[in-house]
Amino acid sequence: MSLNVPWVSERVGRLVLNVPTDRLPRPAEPATPTSRFDGIVRLAAAGVGLVVDCRGPSLPRVLHWGADLGSPVADELAALAQARRPVVVPNVPDVPAAVAVLPEHAGGWLGLPGLRGHRDGRDWSTQFAVEAVECKAAVSGGTLRVRAVDAVAALELRLDLELTPAGLIRMGVSLRNSGDDVYVLDGLVVALPLPDIATELLELTGRWGRERSPQRRPFPVSTHIRDSRRGRTGSDSTLLLVAGEAGFGFRHGRVWGAHVAWSGNHRTYAERLPSGEAVIGGGELLLSGEVRLAPGESYEAPVVHAGYGVGLDELAHRFTSYVRSRPGHPSTPRPVVLNTWEAVYFDQNIDRLRGLADLGAQVGAELFVLDDGWFHGRRDDTSSLGDWFVDAGRWPAGLHPIVEHVRSVGMRLGLWVEPEMVSPDSDLARAHPDWILTAGGRRPPLVRNQAVLDLTRPEVSAYLLDRLDALIVEYALDYLKWDHNRDLIDAGSAAGTAAVHAQTLAVYALLDTLRARHPGLEIESCSSGGARVDLGILARTDRVWASDCIDPVERQTIQRWTGLLLPPELIGSHVGAPRNHTTGRRHDLSFRAGTALFGHFGIEWDLAGADEAELDELTAWVQLYKHHRHWLHRGRVVRADTADASTLIHGIVADDGDQALYAVVQMSSSVTTTPGRIRLPGLAPDTRFTISRTGPGPGPATTALVPVRWPETGTTVSGRFLAEVGLQAPPLNPEQLLLLQVRKHRSEER
């Protein structure tokens, strides 16, 4: 019996196949060319093609993932299937392993197995057989669901593949224990194949204050694993693991990347075997004994997202387009935020805060966020976390005086919280010491003078929900800045078992319940700055705080690489004081504000210390952001590949292609006196554009004795000219930013 699975891009429909597995043809058998290639599914969207062999009896394997192949004829499909068949050579199984989306050791795959687990040492190796294949096609993209069983190991598997309209693959898998005793799950990862031309890896690392730093390496025959055991995504999370052609950049070279949408421990990996087979994938990283499936219980793995593109910009565009397409993505203009942290720190004096709110309203801020220091006994970071009651000594009338004042000057109100943490010096910890995550009867080491609450205990989650709900209701809060300032070390539950998996799910449940109760509430994910940035937490929050460091030199690269996953409207970026709190460097306002312009714009500066000229210029930057944000937060982010590493060029092109804003950033001095040409990518090649300098203030400092005239007066050239030839860059001083406005020339307007 054959599986007549159509090439689903040719029609919209739904197909469900329930076939005895002993009657399914094996992939190794030669296919008979027909008008339809039996048992192979093709999905296509946005220039991406995904071809999956579902002929069974083993789990599906991907024959092609990359550029759309169009609608191949049967002979071409047969050739594609043949090309993906392993070659029989000495000292390999007589039927060589064909790596599936969930790789299996039993089939001869000698790389990382997709499923690892056992029943007291038994059923440690699985061999799933497909029971049903369900394909639901769309005009662009579609879904594929496969149900499989291993009758011997008494396990049931459901595998979901989706190709989104943006060309992004989403892979989900669930495992059910259909046996009579406990199955201990040690790990579950999914993988996609890589071609032999993917010979270089790019990943990100980082630390507090310098998140998402890129590092490259060759991709030889080896297994490259990036594990995060921090109990949160982590400052050193790779965010995206990318494999590609040697020397790939933002605008060139084919690349394939993967992201695990999970806010706890996780694994991302790339592997190439001596056979030549290579894969990229990931999943949750489980601690010992974390998931024990009783009879009838199931485990749902985090969704792994994977993308293909020519250049990192195209890959990033697939991720950001998908993120923007989610039903819960922010749809209103992103407000200008005034956050109090670097303005007042713990000195929450009501008169000082009122003055800050007045100045914030004067420059155009729209959301006032009261940061750390408002709750019971909190005067520094050594105490009081967990005591989520307004401090009566500092705020005898509650927060109402500052709330009323903030709203009277036209701003909305947000509040900082860190619900998952507790200070040993707190009323909560003294009353409930058993509410703290521990292991082996010992307390984990403190980090920032705090421990972690065990949200897997219902009473703990109920307490936090009650306190947060009460604050939101009493003060009609519009916004929560939700922080998480430490890794989970020795995170054990009351039962003594590892608890990171359950803790992550409990955090998700708490956020989901709050959002359900307060649909208009916006939540920011902050975690020692940018240590919890992933699509799992972003399914429940409205932006991330990319880093506690808002020094524009550091933020240029932090935001550049965070943009591989997220669009700018989800990346909080603030204008700090002239002297940076974290690094001590001093920068012009044009550099600080020009950097913040390409994210969710905000202010984190004691404006009482600014002079009139600074306030006027800041007001102009706020007005510039408000004027452009309606298209900046829908546009396509582009980044140029520059020959001189001292210069960064990036921009946003409006979705209608009529305009763009670019930043030319001189990060350091150049080895040459003239930095070369500014090439601006992403514009329609045959359309003429006028380019000129924009932005408040006198503009960036330059070493040129005779100024370059075009930035001030404007010049008109084609998009192809700007991308391929470019214009002579002015020789900027280090740590300067030139903001360029590009508009379609009047002759091109419809």
- Distance (Å, rounded) from C-alpha 615 to C-alpha 354? 17
Nearby residues of 397 by Cβ (< 8 Å), 6 or more positions away: none
The two three-digit tokens of residue 599, written as one number:
């994210």
279 forms bridges with which residues in the sheet?
A: 193, 271
Burial annotation 121-135 (CB, 10 A radius, 16+ → b, else e)? eebebbbbbbbebeb
728 forms bridges with which residues in the sheet?
A: 677
Find the farthest-apart pair of alpha carbons in the chain and give their distance in angstroms, rounded: 83
8-state DSSP, 431: H
The two three-digit tokens of residue 519, written as one number:
């649909």
Alpha helix locations (H) across 196-243?
none
8-state DSSP, 302: P
Confirm if 169 and 257 have CB atoms less than 8 A apart: no
Identify the sign of the CA torsion 457, 460, 464, 466: positive
The two three-digit tokens of residue 429, written as one number:
């910890």
**Nearest CA among 101, 305, 117, 256 for reference residue 189:** 101
The two three-digit tokens of residue 318, written as one number:
């697939």
**Nearest CA among 299, 306, 237 for reference residue 266:** 237
Token pair 């975690």 is found at: 527
- Distance (Å, rounded) from C-alpha 212 to C-alpha 531? 10
Active-site entry in 548, 551, 588, 606 = 548
**Nearest CA among 311, 317, 313, 314 for reference residue 248:** 311
Q: Is 367 exposed, middle or buried (0-12, 13-18, 19+ CB in 10 A)?
A: buried
Residue 331, SS3? Answer: coil
Amino acid at 4: N
Residue 274, SS3? Answer: coil
- Distance (Å, rounded) from C-alpha 361 to C-alpha 319? 35
Instruction: Tell me whether strands 183-194 and 115-118 are parallel, antiparallel or unpaired.
Output: antiparallel
**Nearest CA among 289, 518, 514 for reference residue 419:** 514
**Nearest CA among 745, 723, 712 for reference residue 678:** 723
Q: What is the CA radius of gyration of the chain?
A: 27
The two three-digit tokens of residue 85, written as one number:
């068949």
Confirm if 690 and 741 have CB atoms less than 8 A apart: no
- Distance (Å, rounded) from C-alpha 739 to C-alpha 697? 11
How far, CA to CA in Å, does 220 sit from each of 84, 97, 269, 278?
A: 20, 20, 13, 10
Token pair 């460097």 is found at: 585
Q: Is 381 a catalytic residue?
A: no
Active-site entry in 38, 371, 483, 551 = 483
8-state DSSP, 246: T
Q: Is 483 a catalytic residue?
A: yes
Q: Any idea which residues carry the catalytic annotation? A: 483, 548
